[in-house]
Amino acid sequence: MAGDNILKLNPLTKITFAICLSISVFFADYPYALGCFIVLCFIAGFYRILKDYLIMLLKTLFIIIIFMFILQALFYPGHEIVWQWKFISIKQEGLMYALSLSSKILVIGGSILLFFKTTHVKDLVSSLEQVGLSPAFAYVILSTLQIIPQMEKRSRQIMDAQRSRGVETEGNLLSRAKAFIPSLGPLILSSIVGTEERAITLEARAFSAPVKKVRAHVVKETPTDKWLRILFISLLILFMIWRVVLWII
């Protein structure tokens, strides 16, 4: 995973950063949020994944943001008309609102994506388990993660089976949907039957044995992690106080 040899931080530290940053954008205007986004890009650059990261943002957030800009610009109530064509008009207020909203989305979405791009989910779950997440819950997350690629494979197999029986699985959206929906049946069924057996499977492997589990996969927690978390949270609190005081006076 990206940055494995660059900076090994505990996932909890990274997620604290992402959450603090996301909260902070609600206490300032869009220039601040855009500044935060640039910071995120710098971090991505530091982890040597800037290109991947930006492509991913383009594919996910960009579409949402464009869509929102159009909606807000056209329909947000306002008087200062920037551009008009027949009955369609773009208003200054709408643009500002869209800018403020989308910059926040950019930071929130961007920090979550950056978090997952630099962290194994397995590490995240392990670190959560180390601070008290129940092993059963951890198991559910991990097994789901393992099973998703299997489900994809199965759904491809089912689609292939459908196709070989002459069901149209390509072409336009409608014909693909028509092919896909019947394939859900066996897929869901086989997954549910799976979960029923799961509990017994786990018991066969002594999952609820009355002893303390040992995990071979442990995520390190260094003093740096602790100090960084304290730093992020204190910075957030100071920032919030500062903004609120400014706002009151």
Kindly calculate the radius of gyration of the chain based on its CA atoms and give it in whole angstroms.
Answer: 24
| Dist. CA 95–CA 92, nearest whole Å | 5
- Which of 161, 159, 197, 188 has the alpha carbon at shortest distance from 175? 159
Instruction: Work out how close the CB of 131 gets to other proteins at its nearest, in angstroms, rounded to a whole number.
Output: 18
Residue closer to other proteins by CB (options 61, 142) is 142
CB of 186: closest distance to other proteins in angstroms? 16
Q: State the residues that interact with other proteins by CB under 8 A.
A: 139, 142-143, 146-147, 150, 194, 197-216
Using CA atoms, how far residue 83 sits from 65, 76, 101, 110, 211, in Å, is 20, 14, 21, 31, 70
* Cβ proximity to other proteins, 120 vs 243, nearer residue: 120
Q: Which residue has the tokens 């579409």?
A: 63
Residue 79 gets the label, from left (phi > 0), alpha (psi -120 to 50) or beta, of: alpha
Q: Identify which of residues 147 and 228 has a Cβ nearer to other proteins in the complex.
A: 147
Q: How far is the CB of 160 from other proteins (least distance, A)?
A: 17
Give least dist CB 69 to other proteins, A. Answer: 42
Nearer to other proteins, 38 or 209 (CB): 209
Residue 162 near residue 169, CB atoms below 8 Å: yes
Identity of the residue, 146 or 234, whose beta carbon is nearer to other proteins in the bound complex: 146
Q: How far is the CB of 183 from other proteins (least distance, A)?
A: 20
Residue number, 150 or 224, with CB nearest to other proteins: 150
Residue 242 CB, shortest distance to other proteins, in Å, is: 45
- One-letter identity of residue 100: S
Contact partners, residue 127, CB within 8 Å, separation at least 6: 10, 11, 12, 219, 221
Region of 172 (left: φ > 0; alpha: ψ -120 to 50; beta: rest) is beta
Q: For other proteins, which is the closer residue by CB, 27 or 207?
A: 207
Query: Phi first, then psi: what are they for 77, rounded to 5°?
Result: -65, 135
CA–CA distances in Å: residue 212 to residues 5, 137, 215: 32, 16, 10
Nearest distance in Å: CB 13, other proteins: 24
